Amino acid sequence: MADTRESWQTRLGFILAAVGSAVGLGNIWRFPWMASENGGAAFLVVYLGIVLLVGVPGLLGEFVIGRRSKRNPVGALSSLSDSKGWSAFGHVFVVTAVLLLSFYSVVGGWILRYFGASFTGAYFGNPGAYFSSINYGFEAVAFHVLFLFLTAAIVGFGVKGGIERATKVMMPAIVVLLVGLAAWGLTLDGASAGLAFYLSPDLGYLQTHFLDILPAAAGQALFTLSLGAGTMVTYASYLGEDRSLPVDGTFIAGLNTLVGVLAGFVVFPILFALGSGAGQPGAGAVFVSLAGAFAALPYGQVVAVVFFGVVALAALSSSISMLEIPVSFLVDEYGVSRRKATVAFTGLFLVTGSVNALSAQVFGFVAGTLVNLLLTGGLAGFLLFTGWVLGTDAVAELRSGAGDLGQRLATPWLYAVGVVLPLFLVFTLLSSLLPLLG
Ligand code: PFF
Ligand code: NA
């Protein structure tokens, strides 16, 4: 089967697809939500630290597992080890992917709804009431289904013909439009207040709330890099041996962080332009505040169309990477055709997504708490596997195709992913579980 397996057409295609997975609603919607509940810039500091110190080596761990095995996450763990335990553990990633797309496609639906409503100005009169009227319920289900179908259409066309072709067009468009939006945002009256909230940390808050910030910041750092779910394992499984993983990984993490920070330059000045501060907390904050700002600002309607259009592209280039995890699982492990696997999982997501689209409680728990836990635990599992099962094979895999620096960093990297980072991730998990136990 291995010789008929799909692969990326070009190196750039792989990089853009991975960046496309990383850049998404995490940067524009989930980050402001998590940051506004956890001290703003204080959250940003912890989050950026984790992106750098855990994100980059962690990304390389997933790449090594994927390229070595040329399999989906389940097949990867079972083909690279003899233990039944690891292969059972691999199924956690299919569950994680299902939970991820089940709420992500609801938010994607909201974005499509706002994109359409920007043309008619439907939310201009009363942004708060508008959001409450569409967020959970029949409309939310309908637009979640639309977003899901767009996602499935791209995945159904395959790695080269669907994912690579789509993200090659989407990513440059996203960057160009975001730069334009940021330039517009910086001219607004509230820009400096917004940037202050975004960029200057309250160190006192950081000290007193560190253990609350930590799990949320770790979860968000992994979420933004698409780590801990197996997306990056899957994408790297379509990669040849001739690429330098350290170079590609650093580039992907760097570009995601840049786009993420850039998105902050768009979102926070707009949020503060009306003096509304961080807006209403919760998953709807960005929607209500941004819509309110677009309604009030010069050229707001044009900007709104561009903004929600960009966000829709960013969301799609991420949702396809979520759907690709279970699809590649069925294709690799059960020999199902890509089309059939896509249809089967789309059917499942119609149901699981609708549950999220109907219940604010389910949505809040899955999209917030549960995802933080699953991604943190998931990445800890991948890294322990890299360090203790692959060991020197992981070093060899990381070195393959890498330059001088990559050769030398491979062994220290193995200690980091085998020991230091799992300890950190487990500590993070415990710090979030202890309060739950009372
Ligand atoms: N990184 C994506 C975002 O920031 O929107 C979300 C994501 C995609 C998380 C794929 C996990 C994943 F496997
Ligand atoms: Na992201």
Please write the tens of the pLDDT for every residue from 114-145.
Answer: 999 999 999 999 988 999 999 999 999 999 99
User: What's the 227 CA to ligand 1 centre distance in angstroms?
Assistant: 8
User: What's the 170 CA to ligand 2 centre distance in angstroms?
Assistant: 14
Asked if residue 59 has pLDDT above 80, the reply is yes
What CA–CA distance (Å, rounded) separates 113 from 117? Answer: 6
Percent of all residues in the chain with a pLDDT value above 90, rounded to a whole number = 70
Q: Which atom of ligand 1 is nearest to the CA of 375?
A: 11
Residue 111: closest CA among 272, 370, 304, 300: 304
Confidence of residue 191 (pLDDT cuts 50, 70, 90): confident
What mean pLDDT value characterizes the chain?
91
User: What's the 148 CA to ligand 1 centre distance in angstroms?
Assistant: 15
Least confident of 120-129, 271-280, 359-368, 404-413: 271-280
Greater confidence, 317 or 31? Answer: 317
Region 65-89 average pLDDT: 96
CB 147 within 8 A of CB 112: yes
Q: Which atom of ligand 1 is nearest to the CA of 225?
A: 1
| pLDDT value, residue 98 | 96
User: What's the 256 CA to ligand 2 centre distance in angstroms?
Assistant: 6
Residue type, position 363, single letter: F
In the structure, ligand 2 is a single-atom ion and the residues with CB under 5 Å from it are 22-24, 26-27, 224
CA distances (Å), origin 239, targets 65, 250, 301, 353, 381: 11, 16, 42, 31, 22
Distance of CA 154 to the CA centre of its chain: 18
For ligand 1, atom 12: residue with the closest CA: 226
Confidence of residue 278 (pLDDT cuts 50, 70, 90): very low
CATH of domain 2-437: 1.20.1740.10
| pLDDT value, residue 1 | 45
User: What's the 22 CA to ligand 1 centre distance in angstroms?
Assistant: 5
CB 311 within 8 A of CB 28: yes
Q: Which atom of ligand 1 is nearest to the CA of 231?
A: 13
| pLDDT value, residue 79 | 96
Ligand 1 probe mutation, 226, 252, 316, most atoms within 8 A of CB: 226
Q: In sequence order, what are the residues at sequence separation of 6 or more whose Cβ sits closer than 8 angstroms to the Cβ of residue 85?
A: none
213-232 per-position pLDDT tens digit: 999 999 999 999 999 999 99
Q: In sequence order, what are the residues at sequence separation of 6 or more whose Cβ sits closer than 8 angstroms to the Cβ of residue 380?
A: 421, 422, 425, 426, 429
CB 104 within 8 A of CB 322: yes
Asked if residue 273 has pLDDT above 80, the reply is no
What CA–CA distance (Å, rounded) separates 416 from 403? Answer: 20
| pLDDT value, residue 277 | 52
Ligand 1 probe mutation, 310, 321, 376, most atoms within 8 A of CB: 321
Ligand 1 probe mutation, 104, 167, 178, most atoms within 8 A of CB: 104
CB 229 within 8 A of CB 100: yes
| pLDDT value, residue 194 | 83
Greater confidence, 334 or 369? Answer: 334
299-356 per-position pLDDT tens digit: 899 999 999 999 999 999 999 999 999 999 999 999 999 999 999 999 999 999 999 9
> In the 8-state DSSP scheme, what is residue 71?
S
Q: Which atom of ligand 1 is nearest to the CA of 260?
A: 4
H-helix segments, 122-202? 127-134, 138-156, 165-186, 191-199
Residue type, position 6, single letter: E
Greater confidence, 184 or 149? Answer: 149
Asked if residue 405 has pLDDT above 80, the reply is yes
Residues with CB under 6 A from ligand 1: 21-22, 24-27, 100, 223-224, 226, 229, 231, 318, 321-322
| pLDDT value, residue 197 | 77
Q: Domain boundaries in the chain?
A: 2-437
Q: Which atom of ligand 1 is nearest to the CA of 29?
A: 5
User: What's the 373 CA to ligand 1 centre distance in angstroms?
Assistant: 14
